[in-house]
Structure formats: structure tokens, C-alpha cells
Structure 1
Amino acid sequence: MSLLPFVLMFVIFYFLLIRPQQKKTKERNNMLRALKKGDKVTTIGGLHGTIVELTDDKVVLKVNDVTKLTFDRSAVNNVTARAEASSEESK
């Protein structure tokens, strides 16, 4: 009976902290795998750009007409616009 509070505390800890973090990590990994040319993204540093080149671990962002910057793929924080959406808007 003295172990019951510890087990209960671990179960609560798991469902409130560990499980949501695992879900967030899985969603982020899926987002990083789904990146493609033409996506508009924001980096973890706050830089906004459009993907012009992709490799397994690097992303080249076009920031303006002449500036292209290379980042690790993990530096992408979120996708602000997918490539299909931006091509449909221009039509």
C-alpha cells in the first residue's frame, strides 16, 4: 500500500508531462520530414525565408532577391505557407 502513492504520482506525471512532450516531438519531426522547396518557413532565430534547396540535414533559404542562407534542417521552427498554397495564390 505504501507504493500506491508513488505509482499514482508517476502515472499523473506521465500523462501531464512526458506524453504531451513525446507528441509534440513527433509532430515536429513530421513537419521537418515534410519540408519541400517553395515552403515559406521561420527559423528558431526568427528569420523568415523560402526554401530553395533541401538535403537530408541542410536547408537553403532565400531571404530576399540576392541573399540565400544555409541552415541545419533542425533550425526550422515552423512552416508559414506550404508550396502548393503559395502557387495557388499567385494564379
Structure 2
Amino acid sequence: MLDVETGGVTPLVTQVLSDEFLFVQVFFDQYTESYRIWSPDSSQLVVTGAILEVVTVLQPGGAAELPEVFVSQVRVLDATGVEDPVSIGRGTIASWSPH
């Protein structure tokens, strides 16, 4: 998470995003009104994919060795980075209701 006022960065999670989640991000201009990853109060965001432990995938020299199979989960992340991610269940795409 980037604090635009201070420039500080708070890491929330290390993960491999689901293909469906990435597809929507690539075409964000077409989905901007219907697909919302931010909660209505902007305190949380929802993402889909597989959370990874950095120490298990990061190799010497900075290369990453990823598992061959991922179980995509829907997770809610605390925007402050204080609370741990909450798994809602298996899934490849999720969105908040605007209401």
C-alpha cells in the first residue's frame, strides 16, 4: 500500500493473482464502474489468487521459484496492513458492492 502523502510503502501480501483478476486489471478502463476491489469505506480491498511466503519462493539473485499448482482464494486485505488477510473461500474473482 502506498501512502501518497508520505511516500511510505506498507506491504500487504505476497501473492500470485488469478488469471481472471489480472484480466480485469488489464482492462480496468472497461470495468471501472462495475468491478470494485476497494470496500465502500476504503478500509479494505478484495483480491483473488494464492498467497505465497516470500522466503519459500525467492531464490538467491532475486529469481522466484513458483509452485506448479495454485489454489486461488478470495481474500480481504486490511488497507493499513495491521490485520492479517482473511480468506473468504476458493474463487478466482470477487468485487465489493457499492452499497
Asked whether the two chains share a fold, i.e. TM above 0.5, the reply is: no
Which of the two has higher C-alpha Rg?
A: 1
- Structure (1/2) with the larger strand percentage: 1
Relative to the length of structure 2, the TM-score reads 0.27
Which has more helix, going by share of residues?
A: 1
TM-score using structure 1 length: 0.29
Structure with higher RCO (Cα < 8 A, 6+ apart): 2
